[in-house]
Structure 1
Amino acid sequence: MNDNHTCNQSKYSPYLTFTRSEWGALRQSTPLTLTEEEIANLQGINEYLSLDEVAEIYLPLSRLLNLYVDATQKLYKATHTFLNDQSAKVPYIIGIAGSVAVGKSTTARILQALLARWPNHPKVDLVTTDGFLYPNQILEQRGLMKRKGFPESYDIKRLLQFMADVKSGVAEIEAPVYSHLAYDILADEKQIIRQPDILIVEGINVLQPPKSEQARSTPQLFVSDFFDFSIYVDADEQQIMKWYVERFKLLRNTAFQNPDSFFHRYANLSDEEATQTALSIWREINLVNLQKNILPTRNRAHLIMRKGENHFVEQVKLRKL
């Protein structure tokens, strides 16, 4: 009976589930175009990303996305041939979501590097939604400094306008820039997006749905409405907490040592003090955000990458078309 129940769950799941080896086999003949040195430069501060990980997980994903982008480009061309419209194509947008410290940024950078090496979409840009956080001054005025990263801490109106401009084919668009050193928006810096073939948008809450019943009943746009494909980077909560603490302690010995760092006050903590401080921040802020806002968006993604120890992906789920 249990076996039948499991079988029925699998049969009626919106996802196809692949083990690591099953997913890796879908790479087929896709060549590995990144060197070990390039991979090392793309990985996060407390992550080890092996050549095998890139070959078995990220190459099949880049192959899948290349097929999707190619199909979309052909459809776009067919539509514009029908309409006799010669305007430039709009970017294919990939959203990447997941918890703090789960490795979203590394996933985004690896995909950017791999996708840029396919001949039909050489220009791949990456934007993080950190740049669309409200400046600290506004967060302090609204009492939101301890809720940075929560949905209400973002300038959603500005982010939606940015996404709309990208999908409208605007030739040149400005995106704000966030500094993790200053822990704030850099008022004098902008990232310029000039009609890339692919745009990757990475952020913890990019799959966020409406929260209130009133919002659900009112027609409105969401960031995910602009995505052609979305990825959720997943892992067990205890594992993510471990990674967060490890990263905090590494930053204590590196970035936090800079007197200009917002977190310079943590630079001289002992190992025990650093561990306790990181656990406190995790439990009071990041875990709350994960459980209330981020994790509920997981099943809105087209693809879920489930990580185990050492950031190695153990399972991939791909939404059925």
Structure 2
Amino acid sequence: MMIEQVTYYTDQLQEIVERVWINYDCTSSSRYLISLAGVPGAGKTTFANQIAMELSKKVAKTIVLSQDGFHLYRSELEAMPNASEAIRRRGAPFTFNAKAFVKLVSILHDKSIEINAPSFDHKLKDPVENDIMIARDVSIVIIEGNYVSLKDKFWNDISSLVDDTWFIIASEQLVRSRIIRRHLQAGIAKNEQEAIERTDGNDLQNAKYILENSKTTNVLIVTR
């Protein structure tokens, strides 16, 4: 079935809030779930937190759940047959526990249960178990991550588990500069040259894969 995609810009927060308000059923016993995909550096996390704040004020209590908590541990990557490549490519789809992530997404609708989810500590470079609590009074969850609209095994199931699907885009130049800066600020790269090499050799590879292998979402959000 052909999806008629609606486009918004990142500064159209009120219009996007209105979309959720129209579709969200305040009498429902289920949480309202939104997936937000996009390439690294497109602004997913910043936008997700902004819109979550607005939705909490104007519609219902909202929380952001990132796929980042489902990174495989470094110890798991080191145990892989291709350990050096897995560590170098950390952040690629195969370096996540997609099955566990989708299993958690599959129970998010049920407001009768309190759910604990992992986060990701960039200093430790590993997930932190049970760091995010999705309480019973949370009515809207934004499920944010690079791969939440992928057609690949496990990831492919997410669109059938959520109520609305979003994808955020930004220019390649902006994405690249943001990722390089992020690697330097987080201490992932020791210097600018290393940050550039990591960005071009890994992150932009992942970005290309996302753009070529993601489903068409209900909503396209353009960074400006």
* Length-normalised TM-score, structure 2: 0.86
- Matches of 2:114 and 2:5, distance apart in 1: 37
Indicate the SS of the match to 1:139. helix
Answering whether residue 37 of structure 2 is matched by residue 97 of structure 1, we say yes
Q: Percent identity?
A: 22
- Matches of 2:6 and 2:17, distance apart in 1: 18
- Matches of 1:223 and 1:63, distance apart in 2: 23
Measure how far apart 1:176 and its partner are. 1.3
Answering whether residue 133 of structure 2 is matched by residue 192 of structure 1, we say yes
Give aligned pairs, total: 218
Query: Which of 218, 238, 247 is residue 182 of structure 2 equivalent to?
Result: 247
Indicate the SS of the match to 1:181. coil
Answering whether residue 103 of structure 2 is matched by residue 113 of structure 1, we say no
What is residue 132 of structure 1 aligned with on the other side? 70
Query: Which of 165, 169, 174 is residue 230 of structure 1 equivalent to?
Result: 165
- Matches of 1:13 and 1:221, distance apart in 2: 16
What is residue 97 of structure 2 aligned with on the other side? 155
Cα RMSD, aligned residues only: 2.5
Which structure has more helix as a fraction of its residues? 1
Cα 1:210–1:247, aligned 2, differ >3 Å: closer, same or farther? closer
Indicate the SS of the match to 2:91. coil
- Matches of 1:221 and 1:247, distance apart in 2: 28
* One-letter amino acid of the structure 2 residue matched with residue 15 of structure 1: Q
Query: Which of 9, 15, 18 is residue 5 of structure 2 equivalent to?
Result: 15
Indicate the SS of the match to 1:191. strand
Measure how far apart 1:125 and its partner are. 1.3
* Length-normalised TM-score, structure 1: 0.62
Measure how far apart 1:221 and its partner are. 6.5
What is residue 202 of structure 2 aligned with on the other side? 285
Cα 1:208–1:13, aligned 2, differ >3 Å: closer, same or farther? closer
Larger Cα Rg: Structure 1 or Structure 2?
A: 1
- Matches of 1:124 and 1:17, distance apart in 2: 22
Q: Where in structure 2 are the equivalents of 1:49-68 lying within 5 Å?
A: 54=11, 57-68=12-23
- Matches of 2:164 and 2:32, distance apart in 1: 8
- Matches of 1:93 and 1:247, distance apart in 2: 28
Unaligned runs of 5+ in 2: none
Cα 1:201–1:284, aligned 2, differ >3 Å: closer, same or farther? same
- Matches of 1:232 and 1:225, distance apart in 2: 15
Measure how far apart 1:149 and its partner are. 2.0
Indicate the SS of the match to 2:149. coil
- Matches of 2:122 and 2:205, distance apart in 1: 21
Return the structure number with greater relative CO, CA threshold 8 A, min gap 6.
2
Q: Is the 8 A contact 1:298 1:304 kept in 2?
A: no
